[in-house]
Each structure stands twice: as structure tokens, then as C-alpha cells.
């Protein structure tokens, strides 16, 4: 029996894939522990996986809405993430991970688990890296859409050399954000490196697992060596049956349009739910709004709001799915086989949206451009063109033949077998 430590940071979309892989390992007779913020103890342990608290809790950063608002600022959000949420806590996170790694045979990192590669180097433990979205691979041959500069995508005809130079400039701008990490590295007695943690430095020489679905991105010449595309490991904490009021609403009429913004963007939804309800009413469609903790009032007939719904059970029963393209939400929507209207907010979401559009199953409308009239127009076009539904069903049929969690678990176990 081997023991695997997963270190992750972020929203539920950054947690659920690791729960899925950990459960697959446990089912095969291995031990697995997930090290992340204390806020997530309940969902991890509730899934039957061992938990280790790491670093500061989200409560320590103050008002959650304020944090999310700053984080999803397209211009300064990434810098806020690194300089305020990550870098000041390197020592605390490292110490917690060091304790959690005691007895672990293999370490597994999320892109923001910046100290785990240092722990692996310091202790000599084998380490595997993971990415959850194609954006993290930053390929010059398949350049991503960069939040805040989507127009750069129109220059892709200039080729990989152009993007190599462009990403080089981007790295120079980001390098100063990582200065505390390099200082911390030196304090551990590790040799200096030019590799940047948010770029090439996040990848393991042993193995790199791409935990996104293969239809979204094909392997490229500049992907890190030893990269394996496993697909998106699925877990959403779904109960055995839908709550009675949810099932009753679904059964009471035609398939509704389901509007969802994941677990983070719901905090900055603003007028989105009002626009969603108005658009559904204008289209003569029923709708379900997955709004998080704050419930909108005075909804029109045929529109219901719920704080949480298990996507895996609700999305397949939708006429269409409107969502923000967080990679976890997108993975669930792809498996539902329903057409999608994507309203990307920030980070990897604009790139995820573009990739879903390329599959022919989605339309896109930037979150900041959402109005009731625009939602109505985009949804109308989506629902009237059967080609979107056909493409969505084709992708879902292909994904149903895969088991990403089992693939990732097998790859991790194979790493230990090869070393022994």
C-alpha cells in the first residue's frame, strides 16, 4: 500500500478533481490525503478521503466578496492572487505540507501549490504535477486567450515564434511577483533557478498530468515532457437523489435553461440573475438559477433559484446550460450533452470558452457584457440551431467512454512502480 499527498489551493473547481482521483486511489487499496485550506475539511472527509489543513483559511483574508471582487479583476486579479493570497504565506504552507507529507510516497501538486516542488526537492520525495486547464500549459503552438487581451488571439497566424516572444515579455512582468518565492527557496538551502513557478517551474521532470478533457486541447510540441492527458476527474458531492423540490420542478414542465456561475463568480453576480430571469421570460422558457448563498427575490413564474445543485444530475436535464466556463463547471456541462452559452469572467475562463466554441457546442458572451437582451438573443440563437445540440451530444458520447479519475490514479501508481 502506497500513500499519496495532493496539495491544492482555490475554489471547489480546484478541489473536486483531486477528491475524484483520491477516491480512485482509495478504491484500489491505496492511501490518499488532500492538503488544502481548512474551509474544505467537510467535503473532503465527507467523500471518504483523509484531510490535512494547509495555510490560511479563506476567513483570514477578510470579507469573501471583497476578495473575489479583487481576484476577478481582469487587470490586476492575477497580481492580487500572487502577491496577497499566495506569497505572504509561503512559510506557513510549507510547514503544513511538510507535516502532511510525513509517510507519503508520492507528492502531487496543483499549479498554485508553489512550495510543494520545493518540499519534494528538499526531501527527495518523488513529485508529479497536475494542470486543470489548457491555459496552464501556455503553448506557443496553441496559444490561449489571455484574459484582458483577447485580441491577441487574432495574431495567432504570426506563428509560435511570435507567441514565444510575447509570452517571454509576460514572464518578465510576472517575475517580480515571484521574488519572495526565490528568497524562500534560498532560505531552504536550495540552489537558485531561473524557472518561474507559474510557468515552466510548475512542471515535474517525473510526470505531468493534464486533468482536462482531450477534446479541449491536443498535445503540442512545447508541452512539458512526460505529459499525459487523463481528462477531467469528476466529483460534485452529488447526493443519491435530487432534493424533492428540485425534482418536482424538473418534472413539472419542459426542460429549463440552467444558469450557473460556479462557486466563486456567484459572489460578484450583480444583476446577472435578474438578466437571466428576464431573458428566460422573454423566450418563454423555464429556468433554474444556481445562485449560491444569496437568493434573488420576485422571480417570475417558471423561474426558480437554488443555492446549490449537483451539476451532474441537473445539467443533463437542461434545454441549455449558461455558465462561466470554470474548468470544473465546463467538464460537467460537456458530459451533459447539452448546448451551452458561456459567460466567461476571468483567468482561464475566456480560453475555456473559446475551446468549447471550437467544438461547435457553445456560444459565448463576456460576463461584463451581459444584459437581458443579449442573453435572450444568444440563447435564442443557441436553441434554434440544432447543430449545437448535435455537437454537444457527440462530445458527451465520447467522454462517457473515459474514466479520468482512474486514468490519473493509474498514472500515479505507475510512477511509484517505475521507481521501485
pLDDT at 95 over 80: yes
Q: What's the pLDDT band for 383 if we cut at 50, 70, 90?
A: very high
Q: Is 324 helix (H, G, I), strand (E, B) or coil?
A: coil
pTM for the whole structure: 0.94
pLDDT of residue 167: 85
Q: Is 323 helix (H, G, I), strand (E, B) or coil?
A: strand
Q: What's the pLDDT band for 21 if we cut at 50, 70, 90?
A: very high
Count the neighbouring beta carbons within 10 Å of the beta carbon of residue 18: 28
- Give me 291's grid cell: 445562485
Q: What's the pLDDT band for 239 if we cut at 50, 70, 90?
A: low
Q: What's the pLDDT band for 294 if we cut at 50, 70, 90?
A: confident
Residues 91-106, mean pLDDT to the nearest whole number: 96
pLDDT of residue 60: 83
Residues 387-401, mean pLDDT to the nearest whole number: 98
Q: What's the pLDDT band for 240 if we cut at 50, 70, 90?
A: low
pLDDT of residue 238: 59
- For residue range 179-204, what is the model confidence (pLDDT) as tens digits? 999 999 999 999 999 999 989 999 99
- For residue range 338-379, what is the model confidence (pLDDT) as tens digits? 999 999 999 999 999 999 999 999 999 999 999 999 999 999
Cβ atoms 302, 288 nearer than 8 A: no
Under 8 Å CB-to-CB from 200, ≥6 apart: which residues?
A: 224
Of 264 and 276, the one with more pLDDT: 276
Cβ atoms 30, 11 nearer than 8 A: no
CA end-to-end span of the chain: 13
CA separation for the pair 215, 334 (Å, rounded) = 10
- For residue range 103-129, what is the model confidence (pLDDT) as tens digits? 999 999 999 999 999 999 999 999 999
316-to-255, 258, 297, 393 alpha-carbon distances in Å: 10, 10, 26, 10
Residues 154-183, mean pLDDT to the nearest whole number: 86
Q: List phi, psi (to 5°) of 298.
A: 55, 45
CA separation for the pair 61, 77 (Å, rounded) = 15
Nearest Cα to Cα of residue 226 among 203, 241, 214, 208 = 208
- For residue range 58-76, what is the model confidence (pLDDT) as tens digits? 788 888 889 999 988 877 8
pLDDT at 399 over 70: yes
Domains of the chain: 3-231+403-419 (3.40.50.2000), 244-399 (3.40.50.2000)
Q: What's the pLDDT band for 171 if we cut at 50, 70, 90?
A: confident
DSSP states of 250-311: HHTSSPPEEEE-TTTGGGG-TTHHHHHHHHHHHHT--EEEE-TTPPP-SPPTTEEEES---H
Amino acid at each position: 500500500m502506497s500513500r499519496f499527498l495532493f496539495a491544492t489551493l482555490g475554489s471547489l473547481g480546484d478541489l473536486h478533481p483531486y477528491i475524484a482521483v483520491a477516491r480512485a486511489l482509495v478504491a484500489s487499496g491505496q492511501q490518499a490525503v488532500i492538503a488544502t485550506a481548512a474551509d474544505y475539511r467537510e467535503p473532503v472527509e465527507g467523500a471518504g478521503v483523509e484531510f490535512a489543513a494547509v495555510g490560511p483559511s479563506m476567513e483570514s483574508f477578510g470579507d469573501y466578496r471583497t476578495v473575489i471582487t479583487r481576484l476577478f479583476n481582469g487587470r490586476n486579479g492575477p497580481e492580487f492572487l500572487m502577491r496577497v493570497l499566495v506569497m505572504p504565506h509561503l512559510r506557513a504552507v510549507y510547514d503544513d505540507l511538510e507535516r502532511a507529507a510525513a509517510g507519503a510516497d508520492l507528492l502531487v501538486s496543483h499549479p498554485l501549490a508553489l512550495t510543494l516542488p520545493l518540499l519534494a526537492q528538499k526531501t527527495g520525495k518523488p513529485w508529479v504535477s497536475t494542470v486543470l486547464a489548457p491555459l496552464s500549459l501556455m503553448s506557443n503552438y496553441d496559444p490561449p486567450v489571455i484574459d484582458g487581451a483577447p485580441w491577441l488571439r487574432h495574431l495567432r497566424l504570426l506563428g509560435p515564434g511570435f507567441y514565444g516572444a510575447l509570452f517571454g515579455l509576460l514572464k518578465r512582468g510576472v517575475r517580480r511577483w515571484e521574488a519572495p518565492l526565490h528568497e524562500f527557496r534560498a532560505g531552504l538551502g536550495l540552489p537558485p533557478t531561473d524557472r518561474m513557478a507559474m510557468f515552466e517551474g510548475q512542471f515535474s521532470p517525473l510526470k505531468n498530468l493534464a486533468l482536462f478533457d482531450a477534446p479541449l486541447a491536443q498535445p503540442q510540441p512545447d508541452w512539458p515532457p512526460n505529459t499525459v492527458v487523463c481528462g477531467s476527474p469528476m466529483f460534485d458531492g452529488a447526493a443519491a437523489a435530487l432534493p424533492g423540490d428540485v425534482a418536482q420542478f424538473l418534472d413539472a414542465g419542459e426542460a429549463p435553461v440552467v444558469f450557473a456561475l460556479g462557486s466563486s463568480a456567484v459572489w460578484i453576480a450583480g444583476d446577472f440573475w435578474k438578466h437571466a430571469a428576464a431573458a428566460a421570460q422573454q423566450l418563454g422558457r423555464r429556468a433554474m438559477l444556481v445562485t449560491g448563498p444569496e437568493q434573488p427575490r420576485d422571480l417570475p413564474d417558471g423561474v426558480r433559484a437554488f443555492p446549490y445543485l449537483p451539476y451532474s444530475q441537473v445539467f443533463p436535464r437542461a434545454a441549455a446550460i449558461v455558465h462561466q466556463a470554470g474548468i470544473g463547471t465546463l467538464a460537467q456541462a460537456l458530459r451533459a450533452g447539452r448546448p451551452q452559452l458561456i459567460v466567461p469572467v476571468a483567468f482561464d475562463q475566456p480560453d475555456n470558452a473559446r475551446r468549447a466554441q471550437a467544438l461547435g457546442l457553445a456560444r459565448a458572451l463576456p460576463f461584463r457584457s451581459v444584459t437581458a437582451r443579449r442573453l435572450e438573443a444568444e440563447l435564442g440563437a443557441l436553441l434554434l440551431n440544432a447543430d449545437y445540440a448535435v455537437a454537444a451530444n457527440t462530445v458527451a458520447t465520447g467522454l462517457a467512454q473515459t474514466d479520468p479519475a482512474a486514468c490519473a490514479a493509474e498514472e500515479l501508481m505507475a510512477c511509484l512502480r517505475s521507481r521501485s
